Chains A and B, each alone.
Chain A
Amino acid sequence: MSRTSHPSRRDFLAATAATGVAMGIGQVASSAPLQTAASRPDNPLAKGEPEIYRGTAAGAVLAQLRAAGVRTLFHTNTSGFVPFWEAVYAAGDVQVINMTHEGQAVAAAAGYTMASRNLGFFFGSHVGIPNALSNTYNAWKDRVPLLLTYSGGQREEGKDGFEWWDNTLGPTEAFTTWRGDLEPEDVTDTLRLAIKFAFGPPSGPVTLTFGAGGEKVEAAIHPLDLATMRVGSRAPADAIEKLARWLIEAENPLFVVGSQVGIEGAQAEMLALAEKLSVPVAETMHSLYANFPNDHPLFVGELQAQRYPRKQDLLISFGESFTAGREDERGLTASGPRRIVHISHDSQALGRSFVPDVSILSDLRAAIRDLSDAVDAIATSDRIARIRSTRLAQVSALTSSLKQSREIALRAHFDSSPVTWERVGFELEKVLDKDAVIVPELGTQYYKIYRQLKLGGTNKQRIGRTKGDALGWGVAAAFGVNLALPERQVVALQGDGGFLFNQSEALWSIARYEAPMLIVVMNNHSYNESRARNMLNGGTFYEAGKDFNGYLGDPNVEFTKIAEAYGLKGEKVTRAADLGPALQRCLRSMRDGKAVVLDVDVAVDGAPISQPTWYQKHSIAEIRKKRLNA
């Protein structure tokens, strides 16, 4: 019997007390090396007497979700949820979004949550857990609060029963912050605990078996404010003061702005602090949101690409945890910063991928404001102004030159066909609304589009690419974003290879729920990223000009026809000159409420090979010995 146990009331009290919830005390960050965190004043859970719900256990689940402000649920086909459906029907104000595959449903729930900062809730069959795993992993990497609930089936522990394996939620263990069972006897207690674990920190998916059915229960329902659900922390004044002194004295500081700034919605505070001392701002290539305006003179691009400041003497990470062993690490070491400071609202992220000189556990918004105030208290306004103006001239000269270089690169093949990636970005920037939301799932070529778009600040927003990088996320995630932000233009940027990772299923929901999105398929008929990497250092196949993995053009998929099969509009562009007019038609369709799949023939990049369309051929029709009857 290896089933995950559901907590008793005593366990619940112990667990919630440990996270500072039930007793109304703040989290103490024992793992933060240089500080203790201040208490969070507000208890985000019970205030006053709860309402008592009387009805079915499944109805209690819905009642508690509604008391937390959850009105959108994601579902994939299964039997076994009749009492829950009855509760949804009776409530009248809850929308269930049907998806045709568990993995796509999880991606949609994640996109919805990332855009709304609400809670993504999914219910479906436990036999769909393997289907859901890939995007559960992505959501875990992105630290997205999700509750993924699964009907339990008929429990047959140890017997290899129908639709059964032991330890039902075991496969999700690596990608969840907690696992439990929604059972009638303590259904809403467990649900609230699950919500707490989902919001963390660390936040992430929680999986639950959904054992709450038609049983009659009396259950306590507490109103929950999801906006304050994440347990907060604040750095002590002496740590902030020390950092402020370092920042003022540093000749070449650099800020790295990460996902937690976006998660907290602290972009305005981040911008103000950077501008105060004209500190250049970088991001990592795995940045999840547009955390800083990319057209700002202080924005210097990716960390590992930095030329200026060549010799940093202070690097402060604001909520960027970095990715161990990849480009981020090179960025951290190449310029040899003497001091690295890591600020994070997640104690488990501090020092996980790299070893900073100073770790500070704090909400980002609070840390940024505190640091700004400390700078004002330490330095005179004249000194701050001198630092600001001198450094701004230096950084602006760099970013202005880089902008010129990008313009040269854009114009070099502006009218080429297949269309350049830069041109696609340029045309999108021309036609999209200023507050459009971009949801990319592309390889590193994405940056060629990204540099042409104005993102962050008061400009367009970006959600993704998922830090998990497991393909098959973007279309459904963009659909989830559109559910959360119906007033915005939402654009999914997809590669042809990525689209073919089970993504067409999401078009069914996009059509059913009339999500007026734009899905751009950057079609280079190949897994270009993999090919480029595989060929980078030469070798047998590069010499032969052959690539076993990369070519996708046979069969040459007509993505427009896939769109039309779902009743959506399809547009195909092969020439650069046709892109602008095609985008105008796409916008008209979106205005009329219908999504468009725009298939753009784009250039292959990377080292050219002599036989780019070669693949290892195999024909069953040719090798068969026996003719089938006609």
Chain B
Amino acid sequence: MRKRLVLVAIVLVMSWPGTATAQRGDDAQIEKGRVVVAQVCTTCHTTLGRMLQVHKQTPEQWRELVFFMISRGAQVMPDEIDAVTAFLVANSGRERPAAARPAQRDAK
């Protein structure tokens, strides 16, 4: 069952409609990100399709999330960070507006 869930998640990400998102980012970058997400993220996040649908975040927040997951153990290479972020930005949050992250602030 788990294996099937992972497979579904991979198929879902791999078949994500690229044309609908073309105007929201660089096509090649998004495509590269899509391949990495399918390889790296779906192993654990079997409901990735649903997660992407419901979570609307700003590009900065998605980038933070990629950093968070790298620190957490996701095997994203340095030259893939922008691509993964671009894919997440282009394909996420069709159901709601972004929520503000209240707490964190960068020191000057």
Interface positions of A (Cβ within 8 A of B): 301-302, 304-308, 310, 325, 327, 329-331, 333-334, 398, 401-402, 404-406, 408-410, 412-413, 415-418, 421-422, 444-445, 447-448, 451, 536-539, 542-543, 545, 575-577, 603-605, 607-610, 612-613
Contact = CB atoms under 8 A, between A and B. Distances in A.
25 contacts: A305-B43, A305-B44, A306-B43, A310-B39, A330-B2, A330-B46, A331-B43, A398-B75, A404-B77, A404-B78, A405-B76, A408-B78, A409-B67, A412-B63, A412-B67, A416-B105, A418-B104, A447-B72, A448-B68, A448-B72, A451-B73, A538-B95, A577-B107, A608-B99, A608-B102
A405 B67 CA distance: 8
B11 interface: no
Contacts of A445: 72
Nearest to A603: B104
A408 B67 contact: yes
Contacts, number: 127
A328 to B, nearest CB: 10
Contacts of B43: 304-306, 330-331, 334
Contacts of B54: 537-539, 542
Given A448-B68, A537-B47, A609-B99, A575 B73 contact: no
The 4 tightest CB contacts between A and B, nearest first, are A538-B54, A409-B67, A448-B71, A415-B107
A329 B99 CA distance: 34
Given A305-B40, A406-B71, A445-B72, A538 B55 contact: yes
Given A304-B44, A307-B75, A545-B99, A329 B2 contact: yes
Given A331-B43, A333-B6, A545-B99, A413 B106 contact: yes
B70 to A, nearest CB: 4
B22 interface: no
Contacts of B8: none
Interface of B: 2-3, 6, 39-40, 43-44, 46-47, 50-51, 53-55, 57, 61, 63-64, 67-68, 70-78, 81, 95-96, 99-107
A543 B78 CA distance: 33
A422 B69 CA distance: 12
Nearest to A538: B54
B2 A543 contact: no
A537 B104 contact: no
Given A327-B44, A330-B44, A536-B47, A408 B106 contact: no
A417 B2 contact: no
A509 B39 CA distance: 48
Contacts of A413: 64, 67, 104, 106
Given A305-B43, A330-B43, A402-B77, A421 B71 contact: yes
B96 to A, nearest CB: 6
Nearest to B58: A608
A474 B47 CA distance: 32
Contacts of A415: 106-107
Contacts of B78: 401, 404-405, 408
B9 to A, nearest CB: 10
A538 B50 contact: yes
A577 B107 CA distance: 9
Contacts of A305: 40, 43-44, 73-75
A396 to B, nearest CB: 14
A315 to B, nearest CB: 15
Which of B6, B53, B102, B103 is most buried by chain A, counting CB atoms within 10 A of its CB?
A: B103
Contact of A444 (B72, B95, B101): B72
Contacts of A607: 55, 57, 99
Contacts of A301: 73, 75
Contacts of B103: 418, 603-604, 612
Given A305-B44, A448-B72, A608-B61, A417 B51 contact: no
Contacts of A307: 39-40, 75
A405 B68 contact: no
